Each structure stands twice: as C-alpha cells, then as structure tokens.
Amino acid sequence: MTPVPATLLRDGRDLATLAVPLILTQLAQVALTTTDTVMMGLLGTAELAAGGLAVVIFNQVRTMGVGLLTSVGNQIATAAARAEQAAPGPAADEERAEIRGLVRASMAVATVAGLAGAAIMILIGQALTWLGQDAAIAARTQHLLLALAPGLLPCLWFQAVRQFTVGMRRPQALLRITIGSVAVNAGLNWVFIHGTWGLPRLGLVGIGVATSAVYLLSFLALWLSARRDRPSASMLALNPARARLATVKRVARLGVPIAATYGSEAGFFSVTALMAGSFGPAALAAHTAVNQLVYIVFQIAVGLSHAASVNVSRELALGNLDAARRIRNTALACAAAVMAVVGAAYLAFPGPVLAPFLRPDAGPAVAVATQLLAIAAVLQFFDCAQNIGVGLLRGLDDTAGGFRLTLIGYWAVGLPVSWLLAYALGLGTPGIWLGLLAGLAATAVLLLRRYSAALAARAA
C-alpha cells in the first residue's frame, strides 16, 4: 500500500499538470481587471467607485456566460478519454466527431449569450439610480458599461475555445496569450484614457474601449494557436451554424445550472457591492479594492476547481472512483496552503497590499479597507473551498445540485447575515463582509458533503 504522503504528492503532481497552467492563466486574466482597477484609482475616488461598480456588473454577466460553457470542457474530457481507450477505427472516430460537435454547440451558445448579455448590461446601467446609487456615480458607470458591452461576445468566444483546449488537456497556449493581453490592455488603457497619438481623451470610458478590444484580440490569438496544434486541430470546428440542436440543448441543459450557480455567487457579491455603495463613495471604493484582491486570489481556486473537475470526469470515464475521491482532498489541501500564506500577508502588510488600489489621500477608504482585509484573510479559505466543491460536482455532471446548494448558502445564509450585521447592528461595510464569510462557509460545507455522498452512492 502506498503511504499517504507519497500518494498525496503523486496526486498533487497529476493535478498540477493541468491546474498550474490554468491558475496562471486565471491570474493573467484577472490582471486585466486589476490593471483597469489600478488605473481607475489613479483617476480618482469617484472614478474608482463608478468603475468598480461597472466591473461588478460586467463580471456578473460574463461569469454567467462562462458558466453556460464550462461543462463543455468536462464533456470533451470524457469523450477524449473514451477515444484514447478505443482502438483506432469507427469508435474513436465517433468520439472525435462528438468533440467537434461540442465545440460548434459551445460557439452557438456563446454567440447567443454574448449578444443577450451585452443588452442586459446596458439595461442594468440605466437602472442604477433606482437601486440607490449616487446619480453622479451612476452616470459614469453607465458610460463605462456601454464601452464594455461589445467585448462580451469575443470574451465568450474565447471561453468556448478555452474549454476545448482544457478538455483536450492542452491549455499551454492560454497562458502565453493571456499574459500578452495584459500588456496590450495596459498600453491601450493609457492610450484611450489620455488620448495619445491624436486619439480623443476618453478618461474612464477609455478603459472599457481598451478592454473590449483586448477580448477580441485574445479570441483571435487563441483560435489561431489552437488551429496550429496538430494533435487536436482537426477537432476544432467553430461554425455555430453547423451545430446540432440536440448537442446545443445538451450543452445548455448542463450549462444553465452552472451559469445559475456562478450567477448566484456573482449576484451575491453584486448585491453586497450595492449595499456597500449605500454607505457612501469611500465605503464603495474600499469594498472595490478589497474585492479585487479577493478576486485575484480566487483565481487560484478557479484553476484548481477546473483542473479537479476535468480530472474527475476523466477518472470516472475510466472507472476510477478512488482517484476521484483523492482529487477532492488534493485540491483542498493545495488551496488551504496558498490561502494561509495570502492571509498572513493581508494581516501583516495591509498598507502595501492596498497601495496599488487606493491613493494615499483616500483616508476614509483606506481605514475601511484595512478592516475588510482582516475579514478577507479568513473568508478566502471558504471562498476557495466552495468553488472547488462546485467543480467537483460538475465532474459528476451534478450541476443542478450545486446550484440549489449555492442558493441556500449565499441567499438564505449569507445575505440575511450581511443585512443584519451591516444595518440592524450598525457594523457597516465590515458587517457586509462578515455576512459574505458566513455565506461562503455554509456553501462550502454543503457542496463538499454532497460530493462525498455522491461518490459513496456510486461505490455502493
């Protein structure tokens, strides 16, 4: 029998093969919004508050669109595993045809979601004053959302190709392209904000124009790279017009609960952003800054979750229940180790951690943000655990169950606790974040218990 530490080390290496490129890609992707947030902060507190609100809304819609496509990676991983097991011939050809059909279906879903999501973003922007936001902040947010909306379509096309590369276990090009996009985004931000090279000075709106352009360039770069990847290029079929309706329905059937799950979490954070805004621009700026820090670190959990999810799909296709059980333990152990280091940095060095997001003269915002960092140091453990739990259940094709449990954790536990602490007990923005912590903790426990029960039922 293999000793537990040796097994954990081996499983960790197997998980890292897929997880590390995905984590680095996620971190590079979030560097786009981080660059945007830093430049918003340089423009002023009002611009940071308005821009942060726009980013929250954009992320809400984008995240739900990504959720619609996320199951495609699992389905492709399952088909690829069966193709590897099959002898060369009709059976293997059928699995490869299945992969091509899934890619076409994902592009069709991405196109519909991108167009619908852009319209929704614009409508939400028009309703901000009805939701209790300051009129001047709402006006700035509306203009930025108009610039961000066109970028949603290529953003989701990029995600469709990404799920193909992840399902085929060939995500390496993702990292190179995303790192390049960070540099391009920073340069375009500067150009459009300040109106260099004879272009108009767009200010905050320029950040949205730059971001939309970067999403289009990133999609084109990933598509061209995947076409040059010989082992999998023959299965990359992007024409949504040729998608089979049955495959589109299957992608949607699995994707809608994932989108609802992601939307439930993003909506939870969006509502808390609106709650923070009700305490004034300084509170909203502090919330935006710390939320961006949490969002950065959260990408580690996203990479681990995606890798664990795809590996669970693969192991179950091969009939390895014990390996699927160990994947959970390995992913959680890796996440806990990273979160411990990050949390210690938050507590020991709050000033330097917040410096990139808040100007030195933003005294009230810095004071609130420092309090939020202490809560975030604990919150991130549960945030990572619940995201890994969602991914594990996705590996079991249990997308609907994950959605139902997030509803309980976020909305039946987290939101009432946030309201009680922030308003009824007068704790303000820190009370909102304590409610976030409670909701994420409840969600993590529920999701991980369901995964363990599902594996036990399969083994019985």
| Residue 133 pLDDT exceeds 50 | yes
Mean of pLDDT values over 228-235: 73
Average pLDDT for the chain: 85
Confidence band, pLDDT 50/70/90 cuts, at residue 231: low
**pLDDT, mean of residues 70-91:** 78
Map residue 234 onto helix, strand or coil: coil
How many C-beta neighbours within 10 Å does residue 263 have? Answer: 21
Q: Reduce the DSSP state of residue 318 to 3 states and report it.
A: coil
**What's the predicted TM-score (pTM) here?**
0.75
pLDDT greater at residue 175 or residue 253: 253
Task: Give me the mean pLDDT over the 325-350 stretch.
Answer: 90
| Mean pLDDT, residues 266-271 taken together | 79
The most confident of the ranges 27-31, 113-117, 366-370, 395-399 is: 113-117
Confidence of residue 247 (pLDDT cuts 50, 70, 90): very high
Who wins on pLDDT, 81 or 109? 109
* Cα 251 from Cα 69, distance rounded (Å): 7
Assess whether pLDDT exceeds 60 at residue 1: no
What gap in Å lies between CA 360 and CA 139, rounded to an integer? 26
The CA distance from 117 to 123, in Å, is 10
Q: Are 201 and 194 in contact (CB under 8 A)?
A: yes
Per-state percent for the chain, helix, strand, coil, to nearest 5: 85, 0, 15
Distance of alpha carbon 140 from alpha carbon 304, whole angstroms: 36
Query: CA nearest 137: which of 32, 272, 279?
Result: 279
Q: State the pLDDT at residue 89.
A: 66
Query: Has residue 21 got a pLDDT over 60?
Result: yes
Burial class (CB in 10 A: 0-12, 13-18, 19+), 190: middle
Among 298-302, 380-384, 450-454, the minimum mean pLDDT is found in 298-302
| 132 Cβ contact partners less than 8 Å away, ≥ 6 residues apart | 274, 277, 278
Residue 166 is predicted with a pLDDT of: 82
pLDDT band at residue 143 using 50, 70 and 90 as cut-offs? confident
> Would you state the pLDDT for residue 6?
59
Helix axes 281-317, 429-459, angle to 10 degrees: 10
Q: What is the DSSP string of 336-390?
A: HHHHHHHHHHHHH-HHHHHTTTS-TT-HHHHHHHHHHHHHHHHHHHHHHHHHHHH
pLDDT at 7: 63
Q: Is the confidence at residue 198, as pLDDT, over 80?
A: no
Q: Please report which confidence band the pLDDT of residue 295 belongs to, taking 50, 70 and 90 as the band edges.
A: confident
Judged against a pLDDT cut of 60, whether residue 205 lies above it is answered with yes
Q: At 146, which helix (H) or strand (E)?
A: helix 135-148
Highest mean pLDDT among 158-172, 360-374, 413-427: 413-427
Collect all residues with Cβ–Cβ distance below 8 Å to 128 and sequence separation of at least 6.
53, 137, 138, 141, 142
Summarize the confidence of residues 159-168 as an average pLDDT. 87
Q: What is the mean pLDDT of residues 248-258?
A: 90
Dist CA 18 CA 169 (whole Å): 7
Report whether pLDDT(267) > 80.
no
Residue 360 confidence (pLDDT) above 90: no
